[in-house]
Amino acid sequence: MSATHVADPHHHHAVADKTQLAPEKSHLGLTRPDRHSGIIDWLTTVDHKKIGIMYGAAAMFFFLVGGIEALLIRAQLATSENHLITAELYNQLFTMHGTTMIFLGVMPLSAAFFNFLVPLQIGARDVAFPRLNTFSLWTFVAGATVLNVSWFFQFAHTVGWFGDSLTIMGADQPLSQIAPAGGWFGYAPLTGREYTGIGTDFWIVGLQILGIASLAASFNFIVTILNMRAPGMTMMRLPVFTWMTLITSFLIIFAFPAITIALAELMFDRLFGTNFFRIENGGQPILWQHLFWVFGHPEVYILVLPAMGIVSEILPTFSKKPLFGYPIIVFSGAVIGFLGFAVWSHHMFTTGLGKIATAAFSLLTMAIAVPTGVKIFNWMGSLWGGRIKFTVPMVFALGFIWMFMMGGFTGIMHSSAPADAQQQDSYFVVAHFHYVLLGGVLLGLLAGLYFWVPKIFGRMPNQKLGYLTAVLVIAGFNITFFPMHYLGLTGMPRRTHTYLGDMGWDLWNLVATIGAFILGIGVFLCFVNLAWTAVKGPKSPADPWDGRTLEWSTPTPVPAYNFAATPIVQARDCYWVHKHGDKKMDYQPDDGHGIHMPSQSWWPLLCGFGFALFGTSMAFYAAGVPFAGYCVITGLGLVVVGIYFWALEGPGGYHLEPPHDGEAAKKPTDSPVATAAH
Amino acid sequence: MSHATTWKEAAILENARYHTFFNLAMALAVLTGIEIVIIFLPWAASIVMSVLIVLSVIKFFAVILWFMHLIYDKQLLFWLFMAGMILATGTMIALLALFSIDDVDLADIASITSYASNLA
Amino acid sequence: MASQTANPPLDDKLLEEIHADSHTNTGIENKKLIMWLFLASDCMFFGTLISTHLIYRKLYPFGHPQEGAVDITGTFDIELTSFSTFILLMSSFLMALAVSAMHKGAIESFRRYTFGVILFGLIFLGGQVYEFQHFFHGQGWYEWTATNAAGEEVSGTEANEGVFHDVADTAAAKANFLHEHHGYELTEFKELKKVPGLSLQNSVFGSTFYVMTGTHGTHVAIGVLWLFSMLIYSYSGRLTPRNAIDVEIAGLYWHFVDIVWIVIFTVVYLVEYIEL
């Protein structure tokens, strides 16, 4: 191994020293892309922090895309008998809005936090499999591309680009359905070849590829959290966010296979005429609903548990108290995760499951409210008697508790099957899950962004703008979705393009649309604030909030190796105890070999490229485009080539010498806040 | 896991395992033979079914415990795998219980089939 | 490439280093842990596939809403499948020995066992291809009578492979018969028993059966490719006892494919023969 030692005591951040290293050569004689900076560095990076930032950037982009789709939906529904957009486009918009927000917005933004924070919170230098992490990122980008490239072709058809050449996408397929239009749940038999066009193929393959990305990332995080903890960081000393990451990862690895197989069966139905969901040949469309919700319900907890973890970090920090009932919060999270697999049929009460099944799923659904309630009481316990500081992240986190609770209450209403039969497929359900996913998850994630951005970019977001966005988002959100409870209970159905004027729905729809635009402005300003912070914001100290967990003990910006010396953890909330308590953190002695860093790699990127080619051409193949089959094989071939080269090049690696400015470099710098608190 | 400190120790350990693996492989072959024979015996269906399930479970655990080293490894691995196995089995049983032929209208399927074939 | 044929000499210090390198919080190597997680997740993959199959078996006792579309036990060839099952079990045994060999640092015996695993894996795959092909074409048994130029009459029975390949086509059957038995002209033939072909499209049973066993077959094929790559790699001389963990996780994957087959063999093949 060609390990290179760089000893430069005056250089504080060893990251920049990469240009001075002799590059690692793999067994194949190829040079690893370690020496680069700029675009090549970002494309080939194995650094979990950079991967996290890229996940975050992609997620925000898709939040904006999904947001624009939502605003178009609301604009269409603002008045009765509106014909701003066609019914077909409306179907595509709500399908892609749901799919985008769930798979390309919330999940990757959670993944951004997993990536950036988990190794820092457990005192590790990287994840267990750095290149697999890069693979997850690029596979996610590939899946997102496949899903959204359908919009490009739809747009091209609408404005008339490429002339008639788009008609090669299948002679028997309506070209107004290039973008997916079957709903994010893709209920059979609507997704059958007879009813929807090439859009469904884009949707199937896109979700398959996103599934691979999520699975790979989850395997990686479970191994990282179980195996890579710093000495003394026992499981019951893990920060709650890391615990929730662990539980979420388990949910992903057990829930995604169900949708993967269901999608594969659907793809076989569409491509090869099998009979899984085709009623005319004995298939049972209801089976799709079951398989989808076997995945779909755990998915809800996959979305919400990370936000719960974020809030569990923020509330104690700004209450200046330890988290109330830490073991109970962890245990409740695990129980929610486990029970999440046993309640899927509550999405299907109106399909007629039979009395026993309905009663059982109803009871289990009510049971799952218990651990959720336990968490809320524990968060309130954490606030009680604390010295609460209403910082921007704290305002968002408090908003989370309140809004999520409202979503939870309507959830309990749904768990009662007779009530659910009234609310099924009405705007009441839309209100419910937006309170959970937007009022809950999005507020939690925004809280996390405002909380950790100073650590991520080393710069402070504008606080005034932060408060303004918090008010706009929370107010706009309630103005949008609260009236939907009324709309739903007065019978307005979901997924309808328009409605008649004499139904009494006009007023609340108009209010909801106005609220949606306020919400949109709020989220947009929030992202503008963060983007501005990343480039121009004022410098932030390493520990601006007087934090409790290990990530705040690192210098800002965090060096490539995270910790110059591995910390030895003495307590839960170890950094807080280090600063204000009696148990000082210790550091493992330097072994004199420098820090081993994994080498960067091109191959995960090649795999991602292969997946994008594979996915896009798979949809074209289903549509009967000539030569698409060869492109499918080429795409898969690229993935295989990528995997072989990846295996053969080996982990590689080089050594970095951490800075030696005496003891100061080893110990975390006490922030001004921390000093003042003494 | 083996905690052999010398290659010689490792060899002794692995050679002892050879016999375990050999006996197990023979036992598995015999169990499979029994499975194939009993399906043709004139026993009650419930008995044959029970025997088949028991034998399969025995074979399943024999492979994961010895061939896959779970008996030599940390317990954590066993429970991680069992988590997936139990969830998969539980979901399968629940799904099977949820489906019933009473909910399927075969005449309906036949009419849809003939309708679809008329369209084609 | 430096080709090493014999087992390289081993230093006990190497073993110490291997143990030290694999130190983790749980005492389980990262690679082994991720493999087990993948296998736990894979249980759900196969669980979903087997559920789909069993749900439709429960709904449709004939394998399809209409009776006669499928003849399940007639289609199955339990002797061949039992042989395949036995082969896969024995390949699992060889795999366990290959892993054992790596733990001893015996590269040469690792190569021999791995070769055996690959061979058995290929036999299994060959069996599956043969099986699929025969299931797809279906089978028929016929009684025939023929006369030769001298006017002598002979009769016999035959399965449709070859001669009566296309049952409906009498002319083709006559031509085929003449081709097989020179000088004899087919005068009449009668169908004794017919098993319809099983395809992805023609029945629900065909869809679930082929997709499920095909997914398993794909797993086997990936395993064969993985072990084959490892075998080739071992001749580069870079596969050292340090890589015992890499062999071990390939082994875990292979054994998993075996246990999935243990389940499929019982719940998909054997239970069909139980008369209710």
Contact A294 B99 (CB under 8 A): no
Model pLDDT for residues A525-581, shown as the tens digit of each residue: 999 999 999 999 999 999 999 999 999 999 988 999 999 899 999 999 999 999 998
pLDDT at site B1: 44
Chains that touch C (3 or more CB pairs under 8 A): A, B
Burial of A521 (0-12, 13-18, 19+ CB in 10 A): middle
The whole-number average pLDDT for the span A377-383 is: 96
Q: What angle do CA A113, A607, A111 make, to 5 degrees?
A: 10
Partners of A255 on chain C (C-beta within 8 Å) are 44
- In angstroms, what separates the C-alpha of A294 from chain B's closest C-alpha? 8
Listed by number, the residues of chain A in 217-236 with a beta carbon closer than 8 Å to a beta carbon of chain C are 219-220, 222-223, 226-229
- In angstroms, what separates the C-alpha of C8 from chain A's closest C-alpha? 20
The residue type found at A634 is T
Model pLDDT for residues A155-171, shown as the tens digit of each residue: 988 888 877 777 777 66
> Are residue B89 and residue B40 in the same domain, yes or no?
no
Partners of B104 on chain A (C-beta within 8 Å) are 284
Indicate whether C191 pLDDT > 90. Answer: no
> Are residue B9 and residue B57 in the same domain, yes or no?
yes
In sequence order, which residues have a C-beta less than 8 Å from that of residue A503 and are 6 or more positions away? Answer: A80, A490, A491, A492
pLDDT at site A18: 46
Instruction: Say whether residue B85 is in contact with chain C using an 8 A CB cutoff.
Output: yes
Instruction: Say whether residue A551 is in contact with chain C using an 8 A CB cutoff.
Output: no
pLDDT at site C118: 98
Please tell me the number of Cα atoms within 13 Å of A130 on its side-chain side: 24
Cβ-nearest to C207 among A128, A258, A274: A274
> Are residue B53 and residue B81 in the same domain, yes or no?
no
**How many domains, in total, are found in chain B?**
2
* C139 membership: H or E segment, kind and range: strand C139-148
pLDDT at site A171: 61
DSSP secondary structure string, A443-490? HHHHHHHHHHHHHHHSBPPPHHHHHHHHHHHHHHHHHHHHHHHHHHHT
> Are residue B34 and residue B80 in the same domain, yes or no?
no
Indicate whether C180 pLDDT > 90. Answer: no
Indicate whether A7 pLDDT > 60. Answer: no
> Are residue B45 and residue B100 in the same domain, yes or no?
no
The whole-number average pLDDT for the span C166-175 is: 74
Which residue of chain B has the CA closest to A361? B94
Model pLDDT for residues B69-103, shown as the tens digit of each residue: 999 999 999 999 999 999 999 999 999 999 988 88
* C189 membership: H or E segment, kind and range: strand C184-195
Contact C26 B104 (CB under 8 A): no
Instruction: Supply A557's token pair.
Output: 């910006």
pLDDT at site C168: 66
Instruction: Say whether residue A235 is in contact with chain B using an 8 A CB cutoff.
Output: no
pLDDT band at C6 (very low <50, low <70, confident <90, very high): low
pLDDT band at A121 (very low <50, low <70, confident <90, very high): very high
pLDDT at site C169: 73
pLDDT band at A1 (very low <50, low <70, confident <90, very high): very low
> Are residue B87 and residue B39 in the same domain, yes or no?
no
Listed by number, the residues of chain C in 194-223 with a beta carbon closer than 8 Å to a beta carbon of chain A are 200-201, 203-204, 206-208, 211
Instruction: Supply B14's token pair.
Output: 């692995």
> Are residue B44 and residue B95 in the same domain, yes or no?
no
Partners of C55 on chain A (C-beta within 8 Å) are 284, 287
Listed by number, the residues of chain A in 618-677 with a beta carbon closer than 8 Å to a beta carbon of chain C are 644, 647-648
Model pLDDT for residues A499-519, shown as the tens digit of each residue: 999 999 999 999 999 999 999
> Are residue B49 and residue B79 in the same domain, yes or no?
no
Model pLDDT for residues A29-41, shown as the tens digit of each residue: 777 887 777 899 9
Model pLDDT for residues A181-224, shown as the tens digit of each residue: 999 999 988 999 888 889 999 999 999 999 999 999 999 999 99
Q: Which of C37, C209, C216 to mutate to test the interface with A (most CBs of A within 10 A)?
A: C37
Contact B7 C10 (CB under 8 A): yes
Listed by number, the residues of chain B in 18-37 with a beta carbon closer than 8 Å to a beta carbon of chain C are 18, 21-22, 24-25, 28-29, 32, 35-36
The residue type found at A101 is M
d(CA A525, CA A472): 9
Cβ-nearest to A227 among C28, C206, C238: C28
> Are residue B66 and residue B80 in the same domain, yes or no?
no
> Are residue B88 and residue B66 in the same domain, yes or no?
no
What residue numbers bound the domain in which B67 lies? 1-73
pLDDT at site A38: 85
pLDDT at site C166: 64
Which residue of chain C has the CA closest to B89? C47
pLDDT at site C131: 94
Partners of A357 on chain B (C-beta within 8 Å) are 97-98
Cβ-nearest to C259 among B45, B60, B109: B60
Q: Kindly report which listed range (A396-405, A520-529, B96-105) carries the lowest average pLDDT score.
A: B96-105
Q: Could you report the predicted ipTM of this complex, rounded to two decimals?
A: 0.93
Q: Which residue has the higher pLDDT, A266 or C190?
A: A266
Radius of gyration of chain B measured on its C-alpha atoms:
23
Indicate whether A462 pLDDT > 70. Answer: yes
> Are residue B33 and residue B88 in the same domain, yes or no?
no
- In angstroms, what separates the C-alpha of B114 from chain A's closest C-alpha? 8
pLDDT at site A4: 35
The structural domains of chain C, ordered by start, are 26-136+199-273 (1.20.120.80), 139-195 (no CATH)
Cβ-nearest to A281 among B76, B113, B115: B113
Partners of A290 on chain B (C-beta within 8 Å) are 95, 98
DSSP secondary structure string, A284-320? -HHHHHHHHHHHHHHHHHHHHHHHHHHHHHHHHHHHT
Pairing of strands C184-195, C139-148: antiparallel
> Are residue B1 and residue B40 in the same domain, yes or no?
yes
Contact C96 B87 (CB under 8 A): no
